């Protein structure tokens, strides 16, 4: 073959390659792409461009095709089989991702679509790097039948194997229904977009047909519904760009894997910064509320916190902050909601966050202001005993550095549940405003001094006198400190300084447990 013929042949193959790539890059075609953008959504490729540092995304398995021949599928081409997979850098760090393409057959999941996701997840596991799923799919590809179901099964399995090993984040950026909802539920964090994303096991039409209940798609499975009612969604976002920006922010707090160091930033705050505003934050009257988020932000570097589950179980706060550039997980009762009591949802919310932080070696900082557990038949019959035990289990199981700060109330079993020393807290501090006891002074005196109050000439006056004496003797941090239950009573203004000091000395903490397969948390 002459040199000219060789060049012509090679040139033809290059041109053929470029033509194929160009065709696949058009995804579902201009009309479908325009419809996607018209609905206020980015395309699958635009989402990846926004997630990854410019020019770093490397696509995998672009040429994969489905191999189904049923129901006319042999005549249907689906660009990249409806999902774009690959890896790149996010803020300079390697991340793997899969982005479903709704413009190509509705982003439905079939055999090869699933295998592309399996491949990128397997690589993320082997590389020990985070995995991000950008979901926008009509669900299982019905025409392919059982292989599509097997595809989901393989994803669920990998989600489970990856759990606690690498961070997994899912963004719901369109429909996610039926079996497709379980992969997000198995990942660490779920982000949803207002008005354009929804999740549900059975849709409004099925619900109407089966039980006669009318409900809109948004009310049933929209972002706000899952963020405030079900607790399925951890972060609500305004649009696709905001969603991806918040994912990038969350990733900045997380290590690449459970074996990787925490991502530490150069500290822009000082270790010796006092927080004088905290000396005045606790109200004079115990029944008055204050916003615990003010305390968390005050002690955080540059007053920044990344809150998760903001709209669900608001009586407890979970958030990521930095202390001298290092990530720290915060769990805090919030007296602004139900006086900060522990209930079923608050226990679940906190326990899962504690286990996540422990899995990825993120130190735990607990702020306690809790009057007890929520009373009533609703909580008892909903299993507050079982759910409350999750919190005890999670704290006890965690081997990362654990610091507790008691700001005000710490009563009874809830005092234990918010990481007292006996649950493994490495250092417990209390403000002078702390009230640490089995119960509040009113209830305690009604039990201890019942006979004395009844026999008094003026029961009300006697009761008030006894309550005052009880509070002076027991309902303060000094009695607990005298027994060693509290390591230090500190001024609120010094809280950040003391936390910085304890975290610094506990950086190298090593705690060994009995060798076993795994614990049995009371699910």
Which residues are paired to 318 by β-bridges? 308, 331
* Residue reference for tokens 């919310």: 349
pLDDT in tens, 394-421: 999 999 999 999 999 999 889 999 999 9
Q: What's the mean pLDDT in 435-442?
A: 79
Could you tell me if residue 164 is left (phi over 0), alpha (psi between -120 and 50 degrees) or otherwise beta?
Answer: left
Report whether 252 contacts 262 (CB < 8 A): no
Question: What class is the 31-251 domain?
Answer: alpha beta
For helices 240-251 and 44-51, give the axis angle rounded to 10 degrees. Answer: 40
Is 179 considered catalytic here? yes
Q: Please tell me the predicted confidence (pLDDT) of residue 287.
A: 80
- Between CA 172 and CA 136 the distance in angstroms is 7
pLDDT for 349-396, tens place per residue? Answer: 999 999 999 999 999 999 999 999 999 999 999 999 999 999 999 999
Q: Which CATH architecture has domain 276-440+475-505?
A: Alpha-Beta Complex (3.90)
Q: Do residues 245 and 164 lie in contact, with contact meaning Cβ atoms separated by under 8 Å?
A: no
Q: 34 Cβ partners below 8 Å, 6+ apart?
A: none
Residue 66 confidence class, pLDDT cut points 50, 70, 90: confident
Q: What is the DSSP string of 512-523?
A: -----S------
Check 413, 443, 456, 493 and give the catalytic one. 413
Tokens 């000082």 — which residue?
Answer: 270
Per residue in 107-135, pLDDT (tens digit) is 889 999 999 999 999 999 999 999 999 99
Q: Given this chain, do its domains 31-251 and 276-440+475-505 carry the same CATH topology?
A: yes
C-alpha angle 306-309-314 in degrees, rounded to nearest 5? 110
For residue 1, what pLDDT is reported? 54
**Over pLDDT 90: what percentage of the chain?**
73
CA distance 260 to 94: 13
Instruction: Evaluate if residue 58 carries a pLDDT over 60.
Output: yes
Provide mean pLDDT across the span 72-86. 88
Angle at alpha carbon of residue 233, lines to 229 and 235, rounded to 5°: 115
CA distance 462 to 166: 60
Domain ranges of the chain: 31-251, 276-440+475-505
Residue 166 and residue 360: Cα distance in Å, rounded? 8
Burial grade of 275 (CB within 10 A; 0-12, 13-18, 19 or more): buried
CA quadruple 117, 122, 127, 131: dihedral sign: positive
Does residue 351 carry a catalytic annotation?
A: no
pLDDT top residue among 436 and 187: 187
For 86, residues 6+ apart whose C-beta sits below 8 A from its C-beta are: 48, 57, 58, 59, 60, 96, 97, 120
Both tokens assigned to 240 = 């696709």
- CB crowding 489-516: b at 16 or more within 10 Å, else e: bbebbbbbbbbbebbeeeeeeeeeeeee
Name the average pLDDT for the chain: 92
CB 391 within 8 A of CB 417: yes
Which helix (DSSP H) or strand (DSSP E) does residue 208 occupy? Answer: helix 204-211
Radius of gyration of the chain (CA): 27
Helix axes 111-127, 146-162, angle to 10 degrees: 10
Give 4's DSSP letter. H
Q: Is the pLDDT of residue 54 over 70?
A: yes
- Please report the pLDDT score of residue 284 as a whole number: 84
pLDDT in tens, 205-245: 889 999 999 999 999 999 999 999 999 999 999 999 999 99
Query: According to DSSP H, which parts of 212-257 are helical?
Result: 217-221, 223-225, 240-251
Residue 108 has what DSSP assignment?
-
- Out of 177, 227, 332, 414, which one is annotated catalytic? 414
Residue 164 is a catalytic residue: no
Q: Where are the beta strands (DSSP E) in 121-242?
A: 131-135, 168-172, 175-177, 189-193, 198-200, 235-237
Which of these ranges, 25-39, 216-230, 265-279, 345-359, has the smallest mean pLDDT?
25-39
Please check whether residue 224 is in contact with residue 194, taking contact to mean a CB–CB distance below 8 angstroms.
Answer: yes
Neighbours of 336 (CB within 10 A): 16
What pLDDT score does 77 carry? Answer: 85
Cβ-in-10-Å burial (0-12, 13-18, 19+) of 382 comes to middle
267 DSSP 8-state letter: P
What is the value of pTM for the model shown? Answer: 0.93
| Residue 151 is among the residues annotated as catalytic for this protein | no
d(CA 42, CA 99): 11
Predicted local confidence at residue 331, as pLDDT: 98
- Compute the distance between CA of residue 142 and CA of residue 297 in angstroms, rounded to an integer: 49
Q: Taking a C-beta distance cutoff of 8 angstroms, is the pair 139, 175 a contact? A: yes
State the pLDDT confidence band at 202, using cuts at 50, 70 and 90. Answer: confident
Give the whole-number percent of the chain exceeding pLDDT 70. Answer: 98
User: Residues 154, 178, 203, 443: which is the catalytic one?
Assistant: 178
Does residue 434 or residue 145 have the better pLDDT? 434
- Residues facing 60 on adjacent strands: 85
Between CA 375 and CA 384 the distance in angstroms is 9
pLDDT at 9: 65
Write the pLDDT tens digit of every residue in 2-28: 555 556 666 788 999 999 898 898 888
Distance CA 257, CA 163 (A): 10
Mean pLDDT of 145-156: 92
The span from the first CA to the last CA of the chain, in angstroms, equals: 71
| Cβ–Cβ < 8 Å for 81, 64 | yes
Using an 8 Å Cβ cutoff, are 346 and 315 in contact? yes
Helix-helix angle 344-359:384-397, to 10 degrees: 20
Distance CA 437, CA 486 (A): 12
* pLDDT for 423: 94
Query: Is residue 137 within 8 Å of 175, Cβ to Cβ?
Result: yes
**Model pLDDT, residue 338:** 95
442 pLDDT more than 60:
yes
Q: What is the pLDDT of residue 8?
A: 60
């Amino acid at each position: 073959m002459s040199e000219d013929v060789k060049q012509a042949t090679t040139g033809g193959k290059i041109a053929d390659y470029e033509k194929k790539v160009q065709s696949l890059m058009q995804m579902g075609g201009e009309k479908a792409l325009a419809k996607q953008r018209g609905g206020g959504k980015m395309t699958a490729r635009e989402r990846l461009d926004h997630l990854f540092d410019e020019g770093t995304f490397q696509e995998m398995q672009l040429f994969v095709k489905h191999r189904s021949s049923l129901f006319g599928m042999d005549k249907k081409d689906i660009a990249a089989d409806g999902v774009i997979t690959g890896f790149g850098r996010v803020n300079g760090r390697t991340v793997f991702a899969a982005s479903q393409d709704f413009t190509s057959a509705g982003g439905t999941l079939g055999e090869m679509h699933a295998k592309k996701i399996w491949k990128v997840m397997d690589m993320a596991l082997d590389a020990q790097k985070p995995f991000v799923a950008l979901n926008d799919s009509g669900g299982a590809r019905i025409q392919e039948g059982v292989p599509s179901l097997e595809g989901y099964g393989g994803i669920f399995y990998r989600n489970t194997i990856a759990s606690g090993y690498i961070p997994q984040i899912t963004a719901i950026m369109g429909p996610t229904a039926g079996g497709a909802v379980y992969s997000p539920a198995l990942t660490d964090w779920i982000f949803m977009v207002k008005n354009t994303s929804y999740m549900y096991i059975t849709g409004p039409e099925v619900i109407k047909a089966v039980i006669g209940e009318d409900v809109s798609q948004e009310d049933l499975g929209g972002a706000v519904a899952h963020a405030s009612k079900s607790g399925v969604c951890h972060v609500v976002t305004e649009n696709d760009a905001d969603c991806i920006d918040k994912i990038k922010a969350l990733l900045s707090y997380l290590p690449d894997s459970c074996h990787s160091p925490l991502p530490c930033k150069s500290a822009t705050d000082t270790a010796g910064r006092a927080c004088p505003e905290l000396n005045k934050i606790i109200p004079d009257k115990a029944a008055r509320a204050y916003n615990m988020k003010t305390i968390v932000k005050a002690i955080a570097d540059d007053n920044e916190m990344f809150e998760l589950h903001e709209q669900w179980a608001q009586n407890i706060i979970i958030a990521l902050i930095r202390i001298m550039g290092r990530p720290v997980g915060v769990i805090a009762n919030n007296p602004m909601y139900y006086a900060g009591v522990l209930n079923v949802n608050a226990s679940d919310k906190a326990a899962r966050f504690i286990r996540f932080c422990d899995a990825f070696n993120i130190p735990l900082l607990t702020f306690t202001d809790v009057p007890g557990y929520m009373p009533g038949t609703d909580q008892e019959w909903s299993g507050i005993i079982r759910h409350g035990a999750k919190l005890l289990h999670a704290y006890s199981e965690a081997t990362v550095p654990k610091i507790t700060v008691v700001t005000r109330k710490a009563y009874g079993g809830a005092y234990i549940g918010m990481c007292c020393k006996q649950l493994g807290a490495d250092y417990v501090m209390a403000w002078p405003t702390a009230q640490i006891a089995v119960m509040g002074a009113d209830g305690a005196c009604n039990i201890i001094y019942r006979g004395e109050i009844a026999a008094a000439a003026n029961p009300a006056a006697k009761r008030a006198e006894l309550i005052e004496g009880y509070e002076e003797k027991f309902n303060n941090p000094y009695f607990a400190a005298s027994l060693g239950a509290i390591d230090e009573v500190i001024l609120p203004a010094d809280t950040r300084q003391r936390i910085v000091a304890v975290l610094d000395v506990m950086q190298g903490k090593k705690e060994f447990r009995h060798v076993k397969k795994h614990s049995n948390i009371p699910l």
